[in-house]
Amino acid sequence: MEEAGAPLDAETKVVEHPADHEADIRLWLRLFTCTTLIEGEIRRRLRESFDMTLPRFDLMAQLDKARVGMTLGELSERMMVTNGNVTGLAERLVAEGLLDRRPAPNDRRAQLVSLTTEGRRAFRAMARTHEGWIAEIFEGLTPEEIDTLMRLLGRAKTSARDAIVRGEKE
C-alpha cells in the first residue's frame, strides 16, 4: 500500500499521530494500579488485625516519626491531605485516647498534637507487624530491583513536581 519510491523524510515521524503518549499513559495506569492494590491489602489487614484504618495509621506514623508535637498544618502537609481532613481524623483519635492535643505555646492559632503514651504503645505494636507485611509484599523483588525502583520513582516524583510547579505559575 506504500507508494513506490516515496521518499522518507524527517517529517514522517511527526505526522504519524496527533500525539502519541501511549507509554506515559500505560505507566500512569500501572503506577496507580500497583499502589491501589497494595493500599487495599494494607487497609484490609489493618482493619482485620487491629481494627484500625489506614488514614489513622498514617497520621500516627507521622507523629511517631517526629519525636515532638506537630501542628495540624504540618501534619496535613506531610500527609498530603487537606487541613479539614486532618481536623476530623485528629478528633477521632483524641476521642479514642490515642492522641493528645493542646494549644501551641507561641501561637494561639495553632494546635499541637502528639501521641499519648497509650497511642505510642499501640502504634509501635502495629508498626512492627506492618513492616512485615510490606516486606512480604515486595518479597519477589531483588535488592537491586528495589534500588532501581527507588531511583526511578524519585525521578518520576521530580518530573511530576516540576510539571505541577510549572502549571501553578500560569
Partner DNA sequence: TCCTAATAGTTTAAGTTTAAAATAATCATC
Partner DNA sequence: GATGATTATTTTAAACTTAAACTATTAGGA
What residues make contact with DNA under the rule CB under 7 A? 40, 43-44, 47, 53-56, 71-74, 76, 80-90, 92, 104, 107-112
CA distance 44 to 134: 13
The residue (of 67 and 108) whose beta carbon lies closer to DNA is 108
The residue (of 17 and 67) whose beta carbon lies closer to its own copies is 17
CB environment 69-107: b (16+ within 10 A), e (fewer): bbbbebbbebbeeeeeebeebbeebeeeebbbeeeeeee
Kindly state whether residue 39 participates in binding its own copies, applying the rule CB under 8 A.
yes
With CA atoms as reference, report the closest residue to 123 among 71, 69, 75, 64: 64
Kindly state whether residue 101 participates in binding its own copies, applying the rule CB under 8 A.
no
Q: Pick from DNA, its own copies, none: which does 97 bind, CB < 5 to 8 A by kind?
A: none
- The count of other CB atoms within 10 Å of the CB of residue 119 is 21
Q: Which residues bind its own copies (CB under 8 A)?
A: 19, 21, 23-28, 30-41, 45, 80, 131-132, 134-141, 143, 145-150, 152-164, 167
